[in-house]
Structure 1
Amino acid sequence: MKKLCSLFILFSSLVVSAQTTGSIQGKITDTSGLPLVGATVYIQNLDQGSVTDYDGNFSLDNLEEGTYNVSVSFIGYGTLNKSVSVTSGSVTQLNAQLSESNSILDEVILTASKTPQKITDVPATVNVISARDIEEFPSFNIGELAARQKGVDFVRSGVLGTGINIRGFNSAFNSKNLQVTDDRLSTLIATGLPMGSFSTVTKDDISRVEILLGPNGTLYGPNAHNGLVSTITKNPRQSEGTTFAIGAGNQNVLTARLRHAQVINDKFAYKFHFERSQGTEFNYTDSVYVGTTAYKELDLDRDFDSQKYGASLYFKPSDDSEIIGYYGHSNNNNLGVTNAGRNQIKDWSIDVAQLKFVSKNFFANTYYTWSKTEDTYAINQRTQNYVSFINNGFSEAEARERSFTEQWFPTGPGTGLVLPRGALFKDASKRFNAEAQYNNNWSRFYLTLGAQYQLDMADSKGTYLLDEGGIDLDQTGVYTQLEYKLDSGLNFLLGGRIDNHELYGTNFIPKVAVTKKINKGTFRITYGKGIAVPSILNLKGNLFGGLVLGNGEGFTLTDGTKIAKLDVETINSYEIGFKGQLSDKLFIDTNAYYNQSDNFISPLVNIADAANGNFVTQIGDQALADVIPGSTGAFVLTYLNFGSVDTYGFDLGLNYYFSDSFRATVNYSYFDRDLDKNDLANDGNLDGQVLESELPINTPNHKFSLGFHYNKGKFYSAIYGRYVQKYDFFSGINVAAKTQDLDGDGVNEIVENAQNGRTWNYGQLGGFTVDANAGYNFNDNLSLGLSITNLFNAEIREFVASPVIETLISLELKYNINFFENK
């Protein structure tokens, strides 16, 4: 009887509760009616929310009678706010359509905290290349869109080669910002360099690119110390259909792409993509100097091509979780600029396999990357090798064959020595990564916990690394991030990460931020630390027969001088910023920052002083001759840590909406540094003098751009003018600088339009260019677009060892079949 009474009381209470409370239910779609899976519906003053299911449906239950402000948000779309009244005992319908964000302040991003977050709430400067930006840019190389972002140093080395740098310290081997794609590293294993054109994803499958300026090491680990570039691809449930695209341009550029995405049922969806692109680089030769004589690069092949494909399978075990499997492949032939001349990339392939689990509170990710090339070679070194044989009477055929591995050193009439000067690069490196993360919130308190593991398995087959038997290095990171949000709009963030590296032990990476909502904007103050762990190439490099050696163990010279092994580079960054709406039509995003960099990793430095009998005798605890047979130690280039440098600057971005279809963008960036020339710890090449050229800042003081966007009906267009102040660039053997006396002795060490060391100096980089693109959507399926880079064919050189960038024209025809519309 007691049990019966208890059941009756429980039933009665449920009935009473149902009569005194109500609920909000509905469906969230995009403007085409396609359900948005995983959209967030949230009542802030109750701290109660829901996530839409496979059909875009949601439900918020047990709500007291009253009126609530409900926000609806989804990554890449504008946030919708609605006032909804709830009546006791009834269901209030809320059906909403979200549009791709036109207002910068409404946009929701994912990268900063690894969870969806309104862009104004992010305690960092964030640039977003949106799905619309990508869709309306008729070129297969969307890297060009980075030129339109504030605070980004965009460079172009040719038709194919584009790259970005963030807040200084650029070089021809630039690893100063971390690049990720769908939560996996997009960096080469041994060098740590961004994959760039080696990426396995195609333009039509990219949903957005989020660029974070400043250190982001707390959640992403080492080497996110100057910035982070995150590429996010499309979910097939929001992008069902088939896309065919063909493109053509000058320089013999041709591209063909296919993407297909389909939802099978409420559990399964899939997508796949394919691309084939090819073209010819500008007619430019990077002269190779043997003494004062210049030679053309041997067997220079200016034709480039890439082929890439990939597929993903999406499985939903429940309404609020998903398992994603991905495999991607790319194969590449092109020219690559390095700090020791150009590389001829030959059939370099990248493969990636990934398995990821995503749910409301838990995230797990594991992936495997492998890299392979057999025939890539350093053009500069191979050309020098070839010349050494030809000039000493060897046949053309023998000189070509031996140029990949050897150099002839004459010792007398008709006699000489064969030196191992390998120009060939082979690679069979692999990398394994795993990550798990938990996030949740309780009222105003938000928690993120995670751990990451990485195992690098480098293998150059002895061609460019000291890697007999391979090199395995692992590192583990554990991180947490805590946020506390007040109704007043004041938010506090505290984060920390502990990283343990096999060679460098434990490092702590903290982050602190305070944000405050002010009217229609957010003010922020942040502190973040970043670290750069030397790459495997920095540590174990063995290039050109020991002329370039990594510094993972330190060196000893004839006189007993010890050269310390490389340590971790650190950066402490302080930033203030504001992102908001100054008027109904004017939006601003601005920041000012101050960075302190320590233990900076130098460019290549010769540590031997053969003229005074001071040779390199040991590498670590081993005799140099035992490690590099035949090496005398008379000339050894390696990497060092040196000194400290403070850098500072500010970025300003303005967007003015003349109308919903017409917008103007203004971006300005200032950057400078403070180098103490009296501190010999800043003497990068150990010659007793601190020179500006030893610190490769390689960044202009001023950058400015002005752009106009027009999008109405079936027509879209954009035009951008970009000014980069002329600046000096030093990277390895590469020099692009004005004539100058570096050490004040009255002699110009750098001479413009003349040979400087082993390269020709064409003068400073930078200048003014105008880019434009336009297109027309004939109907919902067919569109035609045109893109012109360097519209007025201005004579501008953007990178060392690279040609003047001439006008590039790209025409693209695209056909879309939207399955959802046909259902």
Structure 2
Amino acid sequence: MKTILTFFLLFFCSIIYSQTTITGSVLDDNSQPIPGANIIIVGTTTGTVTDFDGNFTLTFNRNPPFSIQASSVGFETVTIQVTSNNQKLNLILKEGTSLDEVVISASRTPERIFESPVTVERLGLKEIKNTASADFYDSLENLKGVDVNTNSLTFKSVNTRGFATFANNRFMQLVDGMDNSTPALNFPIGNLVGMTETDVLSVELLPGASSALYGANAFNGILFMRSKNPFDHQGISASIKRGITSQKASGDNAYTDVSFRAGHKFNNKFAAKINFGYLKGTDWAANSKVDKTNIGGTRANTDYDGVNVYGDEASTNLKAVTESPTFLAQLPNPALVDLVPHVVVSRTGYDESDLTNYNAESIKADWGFYYRPFENSFEISYVGKVGTGTTIYQGTNRYNIDGFFQEQHKLEIKNDNFFLRGYVVNDKAGDSYDMVFTGININRAWKDNNTWFGEYTGAFIAATLGGANETDAHAAARTVADTGMYLPGTPEFIAAFNKSINDPDLSTGSKFQDASKYYHADANYNFSHLIDFADIQVGGSFRQYNLNSSGTIYTDLNKPIDYSEYGIYTQIQKNFELNEDMELKLTGSARFDKSEFFDGFISPRISAGLTVNRNHNIRASVQTGFRNPTTQDLFIGLDAGRAILVGSAPNNLARWTRDYQVSGGGQLLGQPATITQTGAVAYNNSYTASSALALAATGNPAVLEVANPDIVKPEQVTSGEIGYRGKFSNLIVDFSAYYNSYKDFISQEVVVAPYYGTVGDGSLSVAALANGDSQAYSTYTNSEASVNSYGASIGLSTKIFNNFDLNGSYTYARLDFDQEKYPDFTTNFNTPEHKFKASFGNTELFKNFGFNVAYRYSDDYYWEATFANGVVPEFHVVDAQINLTVPSMKSMFKVGATNLAGKEYYTAYGTGYIGSMYYVSWTINNL
């Protein structure tokens, strides 16, 4: 009771202060207004930003005197004292550096980026305005140490420090404090249903483990996107961008991106805003015919499985076909089966372009109502967000995400010292479908697998008897078996296609069905206004999942799956002035998290930052992070074609069941014609996939290795980082290096479970594998392997020829892991060892005219993922833009191009080549 009373006393004390209003303007040393400059009350989180003309109004709940601080990227920070109410201030900022910018993400409290205890990358209004990328989200790929993997035109995955996939649940993405990961997939789908560019205030990115303050999903890093508050940013803004995308595979196609924002402060107590965004284009077409399973293979291979060819995943060994009683009954002489080779044959598939129209579309809107009942920093707000879109997602298979819908609703109460927020995130899959299973089930619709493989085998025997060699016999057999195959565009094909994408049963259809959600609440209180000796914060969060895919993703066919997790944290930060030229900042953080399936885990972080002469800062930090198994790690139950994915939550294994037909050879061994397996066999009666392949190649049972992987548990990392930020005349240096050591690394391991027998028995289970009576499973487990990664980044920025900006960065990343010792374990590191980025530009080449050119280089790297593995070749990319500002129209016009050289590339194996984009934009900023 005392604790509750203390909380309410603190709460009411925070809202009874007097009120001071300040107005003013921020100009550069040439008397030009600086739009988007940050104005903040020193020692608080209360602040605002300047409008298009450099003006600002700020209300604060204390009487003078107090100090305000003005900052903007590229200018030195200025601090000035406020001595009276209604005081008008004119602040002049001298050209400075990005190190003076204020960030919030690193410590959950405002601080100069120069003094941040960890590495922080930032995009402000100036960088967004001058980016050569197509939009603000794409410009993240120009930040130091950041990897952006392009899944499709409207879906890009952000990551730092390795271990990247498009299902990137190691990296968190927040929009105004709300996690915008999708409930069904448990990771963000880029900016498909995120923010509109006209409402973006700033973007901050923390690379590396951030679990101590932000919990489990901030394992590899966290992206913060902050929008404009209508109390501070009023008026109407609009942007329209038109152009074309150009790619060899899909040609030249129109591209449109429109956004609109309106914000209004009705009085000192109430303000509101609304945003709308629309994007329409054509996606990067994927048309790789490379064989996934046979290096150098072509469609002439009997077991061909093309990267972007679907339906050819269905395959069998011809010897297994000859064991079928039905097939044997059709032969005039049973001895003819001796003509059939021991070879695997796959069905003929369809190109991806036959199964999608590559429509890329995003429609999103959000609105907010903000209420300040006491005319001070205390604020109550409601924000709603909705978005729908169409894109391509590459996960276990390739998916056409068609009409995907996501909504968020948030209530928040906050002031300078605390926040309390709760929100719900809900999604619906729309008309989305799995393109791989679409190809498979169109094939099944016109001819079932047993019939197709039976016809193929019979035709092979006939061709061999007619004198054909093996190669010609296979070609003749495929021609016979493919007779009547539905051709793309025909009524039969269209009918089978529509039937498949509207059927959620993967044995007959391919519809991706989902209506999952999660509820989240978090709170934070900063005691700095009550305690003088240190900055102390406490906070916590709670999340409740409700998975509802109707059995199409998870094992939730009969009812939704509910589970929850929570965490609490604290941080203490203290500054020590060692002398007039040297200051030491120490920060200690710790967070306790608990999922209902696992023991609790504490994530501490200790950091130190030493500032010398205000121009040099040395920092060091050590922290541990953790990652709870995701919803898919725990509850997935999905037949992906080549393997079945089964999550390892204890109550999940029994929910996955399937009946299998035992071969004739198995029945001769006394086995029933049909057996039933549960997901448990993958974890307690399985061989490693590599040893099963070795058995097939050698016929020697001694090569078999028992798998039986453990069920998954949380992953841990210990991360150490050192860094330096400094200014030498007009040169800015930002360097960091890290070393990560992982324990219980979560990954997928492919295993093979026999239909009968006990693994390791040396007889019956071996016979099951030899007869083809087995099923491959992709399990979720923790590796015993020692996994470490390390790397470093350095960024340099300066001005040359007086006012030209020149920036460059180099990033090195390396994985330390013994692949030979653990051949079935994949880390999905998926990160180039070397990256280099540079930009050159001038915001005022002459009055109101600027330009920027950005260059990116990545060396080649090996991409590992459940869909496909392969080398991503090195690439060089140049983006460029010129812009003209027309103050009388409050407008900026921009002409730009991405991948200006036109050399197509890709950042992940299996995706479409990325072509070029050429665009013209007009932005009106009437704030």
Name the TM-score class by shorter chain: 0.7 to 0.9
> SS of the counterpart of 1:384?
helix
1:138–1:116 distance in 2 versus 1, CA, 3 Å: same
Q: SS at the partner of 2:231?
A: helix
Residues 1:483 and 2:577 are matched in the alignment: no
- Aligned 1:389-468 pairs, distance under 5 A: 389-392=445-448, 396=493, 399-400=496-497, 403-404=500-501, 420=507, 423-441=510-528, 442-467=531-556, 468=558
Q: Please name the residue that 1:332 is paired with.
A: 389
Q: TM-score, normalised by structure 2?
A: 0.72
Amino acid at match of 2:513: K
The letter of the residue matching 1:295 is Y
2:900 aligned counterpart, secondary structure? coil
TM norm structure 1: 0.81
Question: What SS does the aligned partner of 1:188 have?
Answer: coil
Q: Would the aligned equivalents of 2:364 and 2:388 in 1 still touch at CA under 8 Å?
A: yes
Q: Is the 8 A contact 1:548 1:637 kept in 2?
A: yes
CA distance 1:765–1:174, shift in 2 (3 Å):
farther
1:525 and 2:671 correspond: no
What per-residue deviation string (whole Å, max 9, x for no partner) do you get for residues 414-449 of structure 1?
Answer: xxxx98365221111111111111102233411010
Q: 1:698 aligns with which of 830, 839, 860?
A: 830
Give, in whole Å, the separation in 1 of the partners of 2:732 and 2:198: 29
Change beyond 3 A, Cα 1:79–1:219: farther
- Percent sequence identity over matched residues? 23
Q: In the TM superposition, what is the alpha-carbon distance from 1:73 to its structure 2 partner?
A: 4.4
Q: Is 1:607 equivalent to 2:629 in the alignment?
A: no
Give 1:163 shift: 2.2
1:401 is displaced (CA, Å) by: 5.3
What SS does structure 2 have at the residue aligned with 1:120?
helix
Q: Which residue of structure 1 lines up, in the alignment, with residue 882 of structure 2?
A: 774
Task: Confirm or deny: 8 A CA contact 1:139 1:247 kept in the other structure.
Answer: no
Q: Does 2:371 align with 1:315?
A: yes
Whether 1:383 and 2:527 are equivalent positions in the alignment is no
Contact residue 788 and residue 817 of structure 2 kept, 8 A: yes
Question: 1:654 — aligned with what?
Answer: 796
* SS at 2:431 equivalent: strand
The answer for the alignment partner of 2:248 in structure 1 is none
Q: CA deviation at 1:778?
A: 2.3
Q: Quick one: distance in 1 between partners of 2:276 and 2:520?
A: 25
Q: CA deviation at 1:148?
A: 0.8
| Structure 1 portions without partners, runs of 5+ | 1-23, 43-47, 408-417, 617-630, 686-693, 738-763, 819-823
Question: Among residues 775, 799, 816, which one is paired with 1:634 in the alignment?
Answer: 775
- Residue 287 of structure 1 is matched in structure 2 by 309
The AA in structure 2 aligned to 1:420 is S
Matched-pair contact (CA < 8 Å) for 2:193–2:389:
no
Q: Which residue of 2 aligns with 1:744?
A: none
Cα distance in 2 for partners of 1:100, 1:210 equals 24
The one-letter amino acid paired with 1:539 is L
1:370 aligns with 2:426: yes
Aligned residues of 2:38 and 2:70 also touching (Cα < 8 A): no
1:768 is matched by which residue type in structure 2? H
SS of equivalent to 1:150 = coil
Alignment RMSD: 3.3
Cα deviation code 1:315-361 (max 9, x no counterpart) = 112312222211111011121122x3310111111111111122121
Q: Report the counterpart of residue 848 of structure 2 in structure 1.
A: 714
CA shift in 2, pair 1:550/1:421, >3 Å: farther
- Counterpart in the other structure of 1:241: 235
Cα shift at 1:695: 2.6
- Look up the SS of the partner of 2:902 in the other structure: coil
Change over 3 Å in CA distance of 1:38–1:707 after alignment to 2: closer
The one-letter code matched in structure 1 to 2:446 is I
- Which amino acid in 2 is paired with 1:714? N
CA contact (8 A) 1:367 1:434 kept: yes
Task: Go from structure 1 to structure 2 and tell me whether the alpha carbon gap of 1:398 and 1:100 turns closer, same or farther (over 3 Å shift).
Answer: farther
| 2:893 paired residue number | 784
For 1:486 and 1:516, how far apart are their aligned partners in 2? 9
Compute the displacement of 1:561 (Å).
Answer: 7.1
Shift of 1:772: 1.1
1:608-646: CA deviation from partner (whole Å, max 9, x where unpaired): 244995689xxxxxxxxxxxxxx9862222222112311
Aligned equivalents of 2:926, 2:809: Cα separation in 1:
37
Q: 1:364 Cα shift?
A: 0.9
How many residue pairs are counted as aligned between the two chains?
719
Map residues 115-514 of structure 1 onto 2, 5 A cutoff. Answer: 115-137=109-131, 141-250=135-244, 251-285=253-287, 286-288=308-310, 289-290=312-313, 291=346, 293-297=348-352, 298-318=354-374, 319-338=376-395, 340-392=396-448, 396=493, 399-400=496-497, 403-404=500-501, 420=507, 423-441=510-528, 442-467=531-556, 468-488=558-578, 489-514=583-608
Q: By how many angstroms is 1:85 displaced?
A: 12
Of the structure 1 ranges 700-709 and 774-783, higher mean CA displacement relative to structure 2 is found in: 774-783
Work out the CA distance in 1 between the residues paired with 2:285 and 2:36. 50
Change (3 A) 1:379 1:57: closer
Mapped partners of 1:35, 1:770: distance in 2 = 28
Equivalent AA in structure 1 for residue 719 of structure 2:
S
Deviation at 1:99, TM superposition (A): 6.2
Distance 1:805 1:608 in 2: 37
| TM-aligned CA deviation for residue 160 of structure 1 | 2.7
User: In structure 2, what is the Cα distance between the partners aligned to 1:104 and 1:37?
Assistant: 13
Letter in 2 for 1:324: S
Check conservation: 1:715, 1:775, Cα contact below 8 A: yes
Deviation at 1:81, TM superposition (A): 3.6
Match of 1:579 in 2: 725
Residue 758 of structure 1 corresponds to which residue in structure 2? none
Secondary structure in 2 matching 1:238: coil
| Equivalent residue for 1:550, pick from 629, 636, 647 | 647
SS of alignment partner, residue 607 of structure 1? strand
Cα distance change of structure 1 residues 511 and 390 upon mapping to structure 2, 3 Å threshold? same
* Aligned match for 2:811, one of 669, 672, 680: 669
Secondary structure of the 2:144 match is coil
Task: State the shift of 1:562 in Å.
Answer: 4.4
Q: Which structure is higher in strand share?
A: 1
1:568 maps to which residue?
714
Q: CA deviation at 1:730?
A: 1.4
Residue of structure 1 aligned with 2:630, choices 512, 535, 543 = 535
Q: Tell me: CA distance 1:611–1:500, structure 2 relative to 1, closer, same or farther (3 Å).
A: closer
Query: CA deviation digits over 1:197-237, x for unaligned, max 9?
Result: 33342111011110111111111110101111111111123
For the 8 Å contact 2:812–2:833, the answer to whether it is kept is yes
